[in-house]
Amino acid sequence: MAAMWGLLGAGTSWENWRENWADRAGREEQVGGGTRKRGVTDDALVHVVFTTTFSLMSPKSITGLLHLLLLAELFVHTSTRPAQTPSLCGNFGSMIVYTQKLMSSSKGLHCLSDDEVNMYFPSMKNKLQDLPRIQHTAAHHGSMNVSESLSQLYLYTKSFKLHVDWLKTAKEQYSPACQSTEAINSNLRQLSNLLYSSIHQISAEVPQSMTPSFPNVSTAFDVLQVSVEIAERIQVFCDWSRRVLLHLNHMSRCPRH
């Protein structure tokens, strides 16, 4: 605006300039037997200001001004995007960490190497019918919103937690010699709590998890088989969860992890 007043007359206030221009721009019209001067609106004055300014500016200056106006409009639209609270962004970061811990702890759930798993279980039979199966495509992954994604992650985590609790009991009865389930249970519990807190923060409803059905296991080999099945599904879940959380983190304009 300073540049505009410089072009229109230095030291001139808006009120004085408006009054002087309105007097000059007024038009007389017939009213009954006499005449009166038409009023001039502020919109008309602003139009004259910008028209006069553009007519006195060089083409290069006009281009620069248009760029500034476009950038200002872009800034307004960008600044109106809702940013998530710092606590929710912090939860995303913590959940990513726990999915990585869960991945590491799940690999020791059955105490077998990859070669041994391929040797003893070349074609895995799904004994655990209610164990989560991650089959989402890339297109589905990109279309999920925050509420839907957190709810899905929460249900999967609760299901794995219930399966690991059941496996702990089976191990105590038939397969005492192997790594404890405490580490993986702790990571699942922490992940579940973070998801529960995050769902509340976005004012969404926490979904109710269903109690899964479990097969009968009567030998150490049965326990080993379901241990391998749970471990492999958890690893797929962790890989998928990390990608979903990174997507939510980016979509919510949180700092990168």
Tens digit of each residue's pLDDT (9 = 90 or more) over 164-190:
999 988 888 876 666 678 889 999 999
Which residue range is the domain that position 234 belongs to?
Answer: 86-252
Is 1 a member of any domain?
no
Is 17 a member of any domain?
no
- Side chain identity at 81, as an amino acid letter? R
Is 79 a member of any domain?
no
Alpha-carbon 195 to chain mean position: 14
11: region left, alpha or beta (phi > 0 left; psi from -120 to 50 alpha): left
Q: Is the pLDDT of residue 27 over 50?
A: no
Question: What are the structure tokens assigned to 178, written together?
Answer: 């192997």
Is 185 a member of any domain?
yes
- Helices vs. strands in the chain: H and E counts, helices first: 10, 2
Is 199 a member of any domain?
yes
Angle at 225 between CA 173 and CA 244, to 5 degrees: 110
pTM, entire model: 0.65
- Side chain identity at 104, as an amino acid letter? S
Indicate the number of domains in the chain: 1
Is 46 a member of any domain?
no
Give pLDDT, residue 36. Answer: 46
Is 129 a member of any domain?
yes
Judged by average pLDDT, the poorest of 12-26, 90-104, 205-219 is: 12-26
Is 239 a member of any domain?
yes
**φ/ψ of residue 31, rounded to 5:** -130, 105
Question: What are the structure tokens assigned to 88, written together?
Answer: 């929710």
Q: The domain that contains 188 carries what CATH number?
A: 1.20.1250.10
